[in-house]
């Protein structure tokens, strides 16, 4: 499935709906519409949209075996899917669900308007293995890879 967005909020809402469609259930709402805990049947997944600063918003998640412990820990969402909130530049989402292995692949990609370059976030969630792998890619500035937060790389731009 590939969709186009210009809002981090709408991306969060749609990802939450996709997780629900895979059979996950919400066991705790920490902040309505921005921070929840899912039961994955083999553990728990905290899923949140976080306002990091007035110009940065991020979507992230963390796995755990205890919903109560997970609810008080804050995942570093900026390491997963960070966005600079300064415009309504479009970006795309490709989401693939692999039912036999209970794995979700998330790809968020945006063209850099001034150039032919692109920035891309590749994330994989293993619902049974409780493992997340994330890779940030900027094809015109490879020095910012593999994680833009760690390297100071520019985030994908979007509207709130």
Span 50-86, pLDDT tens digits: 999 999 999 999 999 999 999 998 889 999 999 999 8
Q: C-alpha distances in angstroms, 125 versus 31, 40, 149?
A: 22, 11, 19
The structure's pTM equals 0.92
pLDDT score for 111: 84
Q: Is the pLDDT of residue 136 over 90?
A: yes
Domain map (residue ranges) of the chain: 2-158
Judged by phi (left if over 0) then psi (alpha if -120 to 50, else beta), residue 114 lies in alpha
């Amino acid at each position: 499935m590939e969709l186009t967005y210009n809002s981090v909020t709408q991306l969060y809402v749609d990802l939450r709906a996709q997780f629900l469609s895979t059979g996950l259930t919400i066991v705790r709402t920490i902040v309505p519409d921005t921070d929840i805990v899912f039961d994955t049947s083999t553990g728990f997944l905290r899923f949140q949209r976080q306002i990091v600063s007035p110009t940065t918003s991020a979507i992230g998640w963390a796995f755990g075996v205890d919903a109560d412990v997970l609810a008080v820990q804050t995942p570093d969402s900026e390491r997963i899917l960070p966005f600079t909130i300064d415009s309504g530049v479009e970006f795309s989402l490709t989401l693939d669900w692999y039912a036999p292995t209970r794995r979700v692949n998330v790809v968020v990609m945006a063209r850099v308007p001034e150039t032919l370059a692109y920035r891309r976030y590749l994330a994989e969630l293993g619902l049974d293995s409780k493992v997340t792998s994330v890779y940030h890619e900027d094809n015109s500035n490879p020095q910012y890879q593999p994680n833009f937060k760690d390297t100071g790389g520019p985030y994908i731009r979007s509207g709130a």
